[in-house]
Amino acid sequence: MAQQAGTYFGKLIETGLDKNTNNTPFLYMTFQVSHFYDNGWIELPQPLVRDVRFYLSEAAWSYTAEDLEKYGFNGDWKDIRFKEDLYDPGSELLCTVRKGDDNKAYNDWDLPERSFGSGKERTPPTTEEVRTFQARWDTQKTAQRRPPGNPGTPPPPTQPTQPNPNIPHGASDAGDDIPF
C-alpha cells in the first residue's frame, strides 16, 4: 500500500549495494521511518522501513557522487557509512507518489536537497527560438480569443420598425427633407 506523499522522519539503519531488475547497480540507505509531518510531527502507528537509492550507472555517477559526498559517505564501498546525524537523531525523508505502468500507486523515497537532475547544465534557447515560441503562443491565443460579448448567446432579435404615420412613404424621420 502506498504511503501518503509528504515529509517524513526516519533513522538510517542499514546501507549496502544492490542491483535493480535492469541490472543497474545502486547504493541503498534503509531508514526506519517513525514520523509524518502535518503541521507538526505525528508519530506513525507502525514504523516503516524504506529505502533511498543512489544509482551508480555511468549516466548517474556525477549526481550520485555529489550526493554521497553531501551526506558524508566515508568512501569505503565494503563498509558504507554516512554522517552520524543520519543515524541519530535521523533525517527528514520526502515521499512522492507515482503511478506505475500497471496503474498502481508507488512511493519514491528521497532525502532533501538531492542534486539528481539539478546539476544538469542548462542551455537556453536562441533568440530566434524564443521569437518562434512567442509567435506560436500569440497565434494560438489570438485564435482562441472570442469577440466581445457573450458569443454563446445570439444577439437579441431586432424589432421591425413600424412606419411613422406622420412621415410620407419613402422619407425617414431622421431629419431628411421631404421631397415636393
Chain position carrying cell 542499514: 14
- Inform me whether the pLDDT recorded for 33 exceeds 50: yes
- Inform me whether the pLDDT recorded for 134 exceeds 90: no
Task: Quote the pLDDT of residue 156.
Answer: 54
What is the enclosing helix (H) or strand (E) of 63? helix 61-70
Distance CA 93, CA 6 (A): 8
- Inform me whether the pLDDT recorded for 27 exceeds 80: yes
Identify the band that residue 56 occupies on the pLDDT scale cut at 50, 70 and 90: very high
Task: Quote the pLDDT of residue 131.
Answer: 77
Window from 16-30, 119-133, 164-178 with minimum mean pLDDT? 164-178
Distance in Å from the first CA to the final CA of the chain: 96
Task: Quote the pLDDT of residue 155.
Answer: 53
Task: Quote the pLDDT of residue 165.
Answer: 56
Task: Quote the pLDDT of residue 95.
Answer: 92
- Between 124 and 87, where is the model more confident? 87
Task: Quote the pLDDT of residue 113.
Answer: 80
- Inform me whether the pLDDT recorded for 153 exceeds 70: no
Task: Quote the pLDDT of residue 118.
Answer: 42
- Inform me whether the pLDDT recorded for 91 exceeds 90: yes
Cα 146 to chain centroid, rounded: 31
Whole-prediction pTM: 0.62
Task: Quote the pLDDT of residue 137.
Answer: 74
- Between 150 and 134, where is the model more confident? 134
Q: Are 21 and 50 in contact (CB under 8 A)?
A: no
> Which sequence spans correspond to the domains of the chain?
6-110
